[in-house]
Amino acid sequence: MSVVTRFAPSPTGRLHVGNIRTALHNFLFARKNGGKFLLRIDDTDRERSREEFVEAIRDDLTWLGLLWDSEVRQSQRFDNYERQFDRLKSAGRVYACYETPEELELRRKVLLGRGLPPVYERKAADAPVPEGRQAHWRFKLDHDAPIEWNDLIRGPQRFDPKLLSDPVVRREDGSWLYLLPSVIDDVDLGITHIVRGEDHVTNSAAQIQMFEALGAKPPHFAHEALLVAAEGKLSKRLGSYGAEHLREEGVEPLAMLDVLGRIGTSQPVEPLKLEELVDGFDFAHFGRAPAHFDPHDVELINARLLHRLEHSAVADRLPAAAREEDWILLRPNLERLSDFSDWFDVLHGDVEVPELAHDERLMMKDAASIAEGLDWAAEPWKALTGELKTVSGRKGRELFHPLRLALTGRDSGPEMAGLVARMGKDRAIQRLKAAAKR
């Protein structure tokens, strides 16, 4: 069993949320069923498919953890495309056309104006060839063979080929559109399953006849529901939301995979390991309603992932001096891993001395005096606040907020008991004294 994910290298950006979802589901299906996950680079457009764009695709997939078993470059397979194209031409399944885009658009408007489907109208075999025009080539659909398949998500599908236009497979300059080369590759590589968006359903119908024309059994298809933004449609903002944005924002790649692996299904979106996503993957869970994507869900899952990560999973991305106890103490308060460094400085570095009211500064002086007499190995925060409450007569926010500011420089954060114990007696006293003098 083999599945394939395809990318066309482009200067428009890195992998975005839509093609990450498709690649992820191909990957999960392959891993769940013991198959191979193949990466196909559709780089037939030499101008747009520079090597730096190809490398960006590999880089993003690697960062996401979607590692492929093998890679195919379409630019290295032109000889095979030519052979199969000649074979189809000899069989009468591809034919030359000479209309200009303007002529095709005009005819389309005429048909629509008459209330007819805008289906390409084949010319007679003996129609004259317009002088000075290069041919583009179409695949000739068999109008007498209804197209049917059982989609793994959409269920039974049926298309009347008479209502479909013969698809263009080759341009006037000899370059390929992706439909036919993809089929030739799938046959040659033994692809058994293709997972793609539902906007490709009509393309799949045409490609099924291409498989059959090449004497091959079509693969199984799974067409996913559209991915839409929470407000109703996939906006331009979400169109650019993807691997590059996540990396810039310091979001864990697994957070994106957890969300995209489950939205649009009957399963809950929750923080999972990649192996857990693989084990739970099943097309039976997928619905046909649009899958609503909200970047806020990724942020929530990212925080929940961090809160359960073991120190060993992040140690190489933390400050060199950070220890496991630092990670365990701080991780419940992290939204992104980059937040750790700021809180690590609170524990072991310097903080900005806060500006306190006069009576608060006097309280910090008392707090420093109390701290000097405490056994720091025995719940220092509880002992400090207990004695200070008695001395100052304060309680609640009036007691705890100035202390938090003095000791951490922050209005909020992790539980103070753990922070105070971990920062150490000398550092705590130093900060209390500094706040008292400000």
What count of other Cβ atoms lies within 10 Å of the Cβ of residue 177? 16
Rounded CA separation 10/392 (Å) = 66
382 is annotated as contributing to ligand binding: no
Strand partners, 293: 229
First to last CA, the chain: 70
The amino acid present at 179, given as its one-letter code, is L
Question: Which residues, 6 or more positions from 251, have their beta carbon under 8 angstroms from its beta carbon?
Answer: 298, 299, 302, 336
Q: Is residue 319 within 8 Å of 383, Cβ to Cβ?
A: no
Q: Which residues 6+ apart lie within 8 Å of 311 measured at CB?
A: 324, 327, 328
Residue 374's DSSP bridge partners are none
- DSSP for 251-279? --HHHHHHHHHHTTBSSPP----HHHHHH
Burial label, 20 (beta-carbon count in 10 A; 0-12, 13-18, 19+): buried
Joined together, the tokens standing for residue 333 give 């308060």
DSSP for 384-427, please give it: HHHHHHHHH---THHHHHHHHHHHHS-SS-S-HHHHHHHH-HHH
233's CB contacts (< 8 A; 6+ apart) are: none
- Compute the half-sphere exposure of residue 381: CA atoms within 13 Å on the CB side of its CA: 15
Residue 166 carries which side chain, given as an amino acid letter? D
Which tokens belong to 404? 């938090």
Separation CA 336–CA 334 (nearest Å) = 6
Q: Which amino acid is at 2?
A: S
Element (H, E) at 157: strand 155-159
Beta pairing, strands 168-170 & 227-229: unpaired
Which residue numbers belong to the known binding site for ATP? 236
Which residue numbers belong to the known binding site? 236
